[in-house]
Amino acid sequence: MKKFILLSLFTCAILISSNNNTFSKYGASDSTETVSKELCIVSGETIEGSGVKYVYLNKEITFCCEGCEKSFKKNPAKYLGSEGLWCPVCDEGDAKADISEITDGTKYYFCSEGCKEKFTSDSDTYLSNYKK
């Protein structure tokens, strides 16, 4: 009798195991796998396809549309937060949101008024250190 019960349990285990494998082949798995989708930092919407890519001081950012890219360029601090601000003159992450300058339609932030003045007088030199 013990052999019969063990054989029955073993058979059930094999059937259950093969059943899960069959379902997972066709996407009916009960696993908790998640597909990560990139979200636009401006709108919060899912980025379809390759999105709109923009490089801001060597940081590539992908947006869902050109409208979001324009919004970002007007006020990067709003979307990057104070920890994401970079002074292009000192090349350090200590820029302040209240010290800024708009050049070619993009807002840049600085750690001091001195850096802002240097940038204003020769922005091309400082921006040449970064990908465009």
- Which amino acid is present at 31? S
Which structure tokens are listed for 108? 């840049």
pTM for this entry? 0.65
Could you report the per-residue pLDDT of 108-118, keeping only the tens digit for each? 999 999 999 99
Could you report the per-residue pLDDT of 35-76, keeping only the tens digit for each? 557 999 999 999 999 999 999 998 899 999 999 999 999 999
Which structure tokens are listed for 84? 């994401």
d(CA 9, CA 49): 49
